[in-house]
């Protein structure tokens, strides 16, 4: 068995991300609306982001232009670099002055022209293997699980959040005059001050309340899903609200699954009847990912490897039903899943063979002959 079969996607450093933004802003085209929002979220999500960006901007002022481009991206062509060299020789004093104003204007444009309440509007994304918590300016927080994307879109009447894909836990600051609504495919979760978890897959929407109470609504008509690359707006929320019907309320410790696309009008009672109340241990197990741990308590090997795949680029094939139905228990660190599979191979007598770069076959080991 290859002991290094699972590796997390390497996340970019703060310096790399700051450099990417500088290169993009120095391009031929201005940032579009989506990019402006993404930059706003990133630059204000942590003081180190602002510090690193300003530090690189200062280097941008002082160093020769062609060295900056090589250092930050090296994506410009030789011809462009030569042009920049000529411009640097002729216009460096003016360039340095302009770039200082560029940074000042940018912070005015991305930070000071909005009220604090809407400063954290924008798109938040995690890659495979990443988890990240974001604090919103109204006091609410979002904890994104692996491979997830949300858009925060507050306005004067409501606090709208869109779970585009993946999973997120929401801890909502109380404000009875401005409801907090999470839209996810064909469902909507509304809370005033509470905490809950939403997971969206291709077919199902899973809602779990960890504190307080939420009101759950589901679409009762088919609707056109807009591409996730397009930003959501208040008009999108208004359209969704016209086809939503309330399923019921969920209290702390309760969860339910519903169709991710839409439920027929006659199915809402069925969904409401499927609301289940979890034990304290099961509630903790389902939320263990927030502390960087996966907990299993008798789940099948098939469910286990499906969960592993969420946090890695690896996929697994199990052709033997006996292997698929092996019960798995224990606590496993998310960032040490390769070691977990080694332990499972030794504990459950499973042989792991590599089919391709990231595809693996799980099968029972052949019993050694005496």
Please indicate, yes or no, whether residues 157 and 269 belong to a single structural domain of this protein: yes
Domain at 244, CATH number: 2.60.120.1440
Count of structural domains within the chain: 3
Q: Give the model's pLDDT for residue 232.
A: 84
Distance CA 300, CA 297 (A): 9
Please indicate, yes or no, whether residues 139 and 274 belong to a single structural domain of this protein: yes
C-beta atoms surrounding 256 within 10 Å: 21
Please indicate, yes or no, whether residues 122 and 259 belong to a single structural domain of this protein: yes
In a domain, 4, yes or no: no
In a domain, 230, yes or no: yes
Please indicate, yes or no, whether residues 304 and 194 belong to a single structural domain of this protein: no
Q: Percent helix, strand, coil in the chain (nearest 5)?
A: 40, 30, 30
Distance CA 305, CA 314 (A): 9
Distance CA 338, CA 199 (A): 25
Please indicate, yes or no, whether residues 245 and 304 belong to a single structural domain of this protein: no
Please indicate, yes or no, whether residues 206 and 186 belong to a single structural domain of this protein: yes
Last residue in a domain, options 113, 131, 162: 113
Place of tokens 């499927």: 274
Please indicate, yes or no, whether residues 299 and 232 belong to a single structural domain of this protein: no
Which residues lie across from 254 on neighbouring strands?
Answer: 277
Angstrom distances, CA of residue 354 to CA of 237, 345, 366: 46, 14, 17
Last residue in a domain, options 93, 113, 133: 113
In a domain, 342, yes or no: yes
Please indicate, yes or no, whether residues 107 and 127 belong to a single structural domain of this protein: no
DSSP category for residue 232: P
Please indicate, yes or no, whether residues 76 and 182 belong to a single structural domain of this protein: no
Is residue 6 left, alpha or beta, with left meaning phi > 0 and alpha meaning psi from -120 to 50? Answer: beta
**Which residues constitute the domain of residue 325?**
292-364
In a domain, 226, yes or no: yes
Q: If you compute the radius of gyration of the chain from its CA atoms, what whole number of angstroms results? A: 25
Q: What is the mean pLDDT of each run of 10 residues along the chain (370 residues)?
A: 37 77 70 76 75 67 41 36 36 39 46 58 88 90 94 92 95 93 92 91 90 90 65 86 88 90 67 88 94 91 90 89 91 79 81 87 76
Last residue in a domain, options 279, 305, 323: 279
DSSP result, 20-59: HHHHHHTSSS---HHHHHHHHHHHHH-HHHHHHHHHHHHH
Place of tokens 């308590």: 297
In a domain, 285, yes or no: no
Distance CA 74, CA 215 (A): 51
Q: Helix, strand or coil for residue 200? A: strand
With beta carbons less than 8 A apart as the criterion, state whether 218 and 259 touch.
yes
């Amino acid at each position: 068995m290859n002991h290094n079969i699972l590796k997390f996607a390497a996340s970019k450093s703060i310096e790399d991300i700051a450099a990417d933004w500088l290169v993009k802003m120095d391009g031929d085209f201005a940032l579009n609306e989506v990019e402006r929002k993404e930059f706003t979220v990133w630059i204000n999500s942590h003081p180190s982001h602002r510090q690193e960006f300003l530090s690189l901007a200062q280097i941008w002022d002082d160093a020769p232009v062609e060295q900056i481009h090589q250092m930050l991206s090296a994506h410009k062509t030789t011809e462009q670099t030569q042009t920049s060299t000529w411009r640097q020789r002729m216009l460096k004093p003016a360039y340095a002055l302009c770039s200082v104003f560029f940074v000042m204007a940018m912070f005015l444009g991305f930070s000071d022209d909005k009220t604090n309440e809407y400063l954290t509007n924008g798109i938040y994304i995690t890659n495979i293997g990443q988890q990240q918590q974001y604090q919103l300016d109204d006091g609410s927080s979002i904890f994104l699980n692996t491979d997830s994307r949300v858009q925060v879109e507050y306005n004067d009447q409501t606090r709208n959040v869109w779970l585009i894909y993946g999973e997120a836990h929401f801890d909502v600051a109380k404000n009875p005059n401005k409801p907090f609504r999470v839209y996810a495919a064909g469902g909507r979760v509304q809370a005033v001050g509470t905490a809950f978890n939403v997971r969206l897959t291709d077919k199902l929407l899973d809602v779990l309340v960890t504190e307080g109470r939420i009101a759950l609504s589901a679409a009762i008509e088919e609707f056109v899903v807009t591409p996730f690359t397009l930003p959501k707006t208040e008009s999108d929320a208004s359209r969704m609200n016209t086809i939503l019907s309330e399923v019921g309320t969920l209290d702390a410790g309760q969860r339910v699954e519903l169709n991710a696309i839409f439920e027929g009008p006659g199915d809402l009672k069925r969904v409401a009847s499927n609301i289940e109340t979890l034990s304290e241990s099961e509630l903790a197990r389902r939320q263990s990912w927030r502390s960087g741990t996966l907990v299993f308590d008798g789940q099948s090997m098939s469910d286990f490897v499906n969960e592993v795949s969420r946090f890695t680029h690896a996929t697994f094939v199990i052709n033997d039903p006996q292997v698929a139905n092996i019960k798995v228990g224990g606590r496993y660190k998310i960032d040490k899943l390769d070691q977990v599979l080694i332990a499972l191979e030794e504990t459950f007598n499973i042989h792991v063979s590599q089919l391709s770069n990231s595809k693996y076959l799980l099968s029972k080991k052949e019993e050694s002959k005496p």
